[in-house]
């Protein structure tokens, strides 16, 4: 499965029990753009050191999929179909190219992609 950036962020919350299990799965992947989103947001440096360390540890332990020509091609197609952020297009394209479900809390950002399976840890039946 491919974990959206928001899942990585929620997994770093103290006491998280919903997202961390997805991030820790042996088959969990992240798109390369997720590292940029998680570690590169403007207020990162103002976070408590413990929180920064946790986010950096989650990224470091994640299997990151490099941005390649096939993912780029798929992301271009997705953005031509419907307006969406570049990061969301890359993340969705990564899941589609690897034929994996996408784990995200932002289901609405991806609902228009019919061939994409979306798992929301906050609504998933256990």
pLDDT in tens, 91-120: 999 999 999 999 999 999 999 999 999 999
Instruction: Return the CATH number at 95.
Output: 3.40.50.1010
Q: Domain range holding 94?
A: 2-119
Q: Give the pLDDT confidence of 18-52 residue by residue, as tens digits.
A: 999 999 999 999 999 999 999 998 889 999 999 99
In sequence order, what DSSP letters do the residues of 30-62 get, joined into one string? Answer: EEHHHHHHHH-STTGGGS-HHHHHHHHHHHHHS
pTM recorded for the entire structure: 0.92
- DSSP H/E element including 118: strand 118-119
92 within domain boundaries: yes
126 within domain boundaries: no
Number of folded domains that form the chain = 1
124 within domain boundaries: no
């Amino acid at each position: 499965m491919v974990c959206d950036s928001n899942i990585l962020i929620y997994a770093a919350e103290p006491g998280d029990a919903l997202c961390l299990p997805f991030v820790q799965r042996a088959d969990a992947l992240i798109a390369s753009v997720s590292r940029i989103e998680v570690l590169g947001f403007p207020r990162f440096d103002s976070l408590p050191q413990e929180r920064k360390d946790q986010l950096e540890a989650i990224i470091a332990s994640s299997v990151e999929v490099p941005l390649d020509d096939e993912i780029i091609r798929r992301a271009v197609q997705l953005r031509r179909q419907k307006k969406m952020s570049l990061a969301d297009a890359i993340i969705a394209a990564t899941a589609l190219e690897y034929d994996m479900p996408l784990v995200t809390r932002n289901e609405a950002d991806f609902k228009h992609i019919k061939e994409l399976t979306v798992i929301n840890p906050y609504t998933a039946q256990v």
